[in-house]
């Protein structure tokens, strides 16, 4: 979670403590029930707003705080499960498998029948298994993957250069702009083909489990994959 989110979470916890103290102080006067209901409603509303804005971490926290006051509140429970699923998906896409699994299991404690959480848990477990297989087959897969990503990002830059040349021609009417665009287009075509071949080779290495030599090159022989990758 970002620094801003952590600050928000800390502030929320402090606010929760203050509200809980008010509820305690008013308990002897017979007002505790209405105060607690107001706290729950406020927290649920905060969770709904945060979830609508895509702040899934804050949403999960707000619903959780509501459930601390009233563990049986249906709105807080349903909202928490929705927020947990969204947060777990976000963590999963960032590669934080352990955090995502914890979030999913927290959600399943509230709703063990959640189809969405169960499906996401299966997806995560499958991804973890595949990651272990890839790591064992091709230890330097991450560095190679980053290199490929940079290569494709460069294609995007080349494409932007072509577009700039075409836009310049729309007001300059200088055929030299078109010539530059054509030249860049040829280069782009070559780079696309080169990157495609690299991508194919990368996938073959990762899925086949070809061992690497101590020099970092791939040996001609090959070991079998622990499990075929799709």
pLDDT tier, 106 (very low <50, low <70, confident <90, very high otherwise):
very high
Domain topology for 138-208: Methane Monooxygenase Hydroxylase; Chain G, domain 1 (1.20.58)
Lowest average pLDDT, out of 12-16, 52-56, 129-133, 152-156, goes to 12-16
Q: What is the CATH number of domain 3-136?
A: 1.25.40.10
Long-range contacts of 217-222 (CB under 8 A, 24+ apart): none
The per-residue pLDDT of the chain, averaged, comes to 81
Tokens 């509200």 label which residue? 19
pLDDT (tens digit, 9 = 90+) per residue, 84-105? 999 999 999 988 889 999 999 9
pLDDT at 194: 93
pLDDT at 31: 61
pLDDT at 11: 53
- The whole-angstrom separation of Cα 102 and Cα 99 is 5
Per-residue CA distances from 133 to 213, 223, 225 (Å):
19, 12, 8
Q: In the chain, where are the structural domains located?
A: 3-136, 138-208
Judged on CB neighbours under 10 Å (0-12, 13-18, 19+), 59 is buried
pTM greater than 0.95: no
pLDDT of 119 strictly over 80? yes
């Amino acid at each position: 979670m970002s620094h801003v989110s952590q600050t928000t979470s800390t502030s929320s916890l402090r606010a929760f403590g203050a509200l809980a103290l008010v509820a305690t102080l008013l308990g002897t006067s017979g007002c505790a029930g209405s105060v607690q209901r107001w706290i729950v409603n406020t927290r649920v509303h905060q969770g709904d707003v945060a979830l609508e804005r895509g702040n899934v971490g804050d949403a999960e926290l707000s619903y959780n705080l509501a459930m601390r006051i009233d563990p049986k509140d249906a709105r807080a429970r349903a909202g928490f499960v929705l927020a947990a699923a969204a947060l777990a998906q976000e963590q999963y896409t960032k590669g934080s498998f352990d955090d995502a699994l914890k979030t999913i299991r927290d959600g399943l404690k509230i709703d063990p029948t959640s189809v969405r959480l169960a499906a996401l848990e299966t997806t995560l477990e499958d991804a973890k298994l595949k990651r272990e297989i890839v790591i064992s087959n091709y230890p330097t897969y991450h560095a190679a993957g980053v290199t490929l990503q940079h290569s494709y990002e460069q294609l995007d830059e080349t494409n932007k250069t072509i577009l700039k040349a075409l836009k310049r021609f729309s007001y300059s009417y200088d055929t030299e702009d078109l010539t530059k665009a054509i030249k860049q287009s040829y280069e782009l075509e070559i780079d696309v083909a080169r990157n495609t071949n690299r991508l194919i080779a990368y996938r073959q290495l990762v899925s086949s489990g070809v061992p690497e030599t101590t020099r970092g090159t791939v040996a001609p022989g090959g070991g079998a994959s622990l499990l075929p990758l799709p």
